[in-house]
Amino acid sequence: MAKRIIKAETVQITYREAIRKAICEAMHQDERVFLMGEDVGRYGGCYAVTKGLLKEFGPERIRDTPLSESGFTGAGIGAAIGGMRPIVELMTVNFSLLAMDQILNNAATIRHMSGNQFGVPLVIRMATGAGRQLAAQHSHSLEGWYAHIPGIKVLAPATLEDARGMLWTALDDPDPVLIFENVMLYNMEGELPANAGPVNIEKAAIRREGRDISLITYGGSLWKTLEAAEALAREGIKAEVIDLRTLRPLDDTTIIASVAKTRRAVIVDEGWRSGSLASEIVTRIVEQAFWRLDGPIARVCSEEVPIPYPQHLEQAAIPQAEKVVAAAKNLLSK
């Protein structure tokens, strides 16, 4: 007797709507959850993620803040220690540097410095990346800096499922979690299972199986990397695409297993090359799988300049599918 296949109901949704839905449902389920940040209330968020939430939940739970990242991030840390589940939105990753002291010296260290007496169950969301012509103070990818800090988790959702589900998992974490949302993904649209829930934030994901070369990336660069893999496939090259998903802690097991199979790797990182997350991944591969490699490892990173405003220069400064294809073919030719 043939088995009956029941297709899960799906909804058509954008990346920003998936995040908004996750925030909304979390606030309905847990009265301790509240959101705070610049323009998150009446304006509806710089990228319209929080549009309508002020009307639904009121100013006690959707809090517009002054332009003081250090101040309201510190308030979020205090609220988390006091038993709340705050979501702090920092408008862009560039502005998060004004809150670096709170994140590094307080949020990340309080559990250690209190002898495990206190945790900071805080979620910090921020926009990252370039592509919208927002120039040098709004466009960089600095998540690799935060991945350097012990005591926090760093997430980079690239899919609709992760955009919705990672927030729920982060809110259940007893320690600080930073979520980096690439600005070029907010308009991305697709189908999401209506019953989608929390996702595992401890594992990288193989987004495309391959045997000839590993393309390792995260966030907004995932879709360019998948485009590159498709272009390579038309030339008979089967590339495996790894979506890191979590930048701290890195999933070494998935990375090393892929490289051990393909024996070649390209790391695609929208951060700058010097001192980059890509550099860390290269080092881990060399430390753990050097003798499995058939050649050097390549990196495709942003050019080492402030992100330009003109569109043609902005696009030239950040990783593109064509650059990934060229790097992969160069490795395979050696």
DSSP notation for 120-173: ---EEEEEE---SS--TTT----HHHHTT-TT-EEE---SHHHHHHHHHHHHT-
β-pairing verdict for 213-217 and 265-272: parallel
* Across 210-234, average pLDDT: 98
Q: Has residue 1 got a pLDDT over 80?
A: no
- 237-274 per-residue burial string, b: 16 or more CB within 10 A, e: under 16: bebbbbbbbbbbebbeebbbbbbeebbbbbbbbbbbee
Q: Has residue 6 got a pLDDT over 80?
A: no
Which pLDDT value is given to residue 300? 98
Model pLDDT for residues 131-140, shown as the tens digit of each residue:
999 999 999 9
Contact by Cβ (8 Å): 206, 254: yes
Q: Which domains does the chain have, with CATH numbers?
A: 10-193 (3.40.50.970), 205-332 (3.40.50.920)
pLDDT band for position 9 (cuts 50, 70, 90): confident
Which pLDDT value is given to residue 91? 95
Give catalytic residue positions.
69, 138
pTM: 0.95
Which pLDDT value is given to residue 264? 98
Q: How far apart are CA 18 and CA 25, in angstroms?
A: 11
Percentage of the residues of the chain whose pLDDT score is greater than 90 = 95
Mean pLDDT score across all residues of the chain: 95
Model pLDDT for residues 187-203, shown as the tens digit of each residue:
999 999 888 889 999 99
Phi, psi of 17 (to 5 degrees): -70, -35
- One-letter-per-residue 3-state SS of 212-281: CEEEEECCCHHHHHHHHHHHHHCCCCCEEEEECCEEECCCHHHHHHHHHHHCCEEEEEEEECCCCHHHHH
Q: Cα 248–84–151 angle (5° rounding)?
A: 20
Q: What is the CA radius of gyration of the chain?
A: 20
Which pLDDT value is given to residue 7? 57
The reply to whether omega before 66 is within 30° of 0 (cis) is no
DSSP notation for 160-207: HHHHHHHHHHHHT-SS-EEEEEEGGGTT-EEEEETT-----SS--EEE
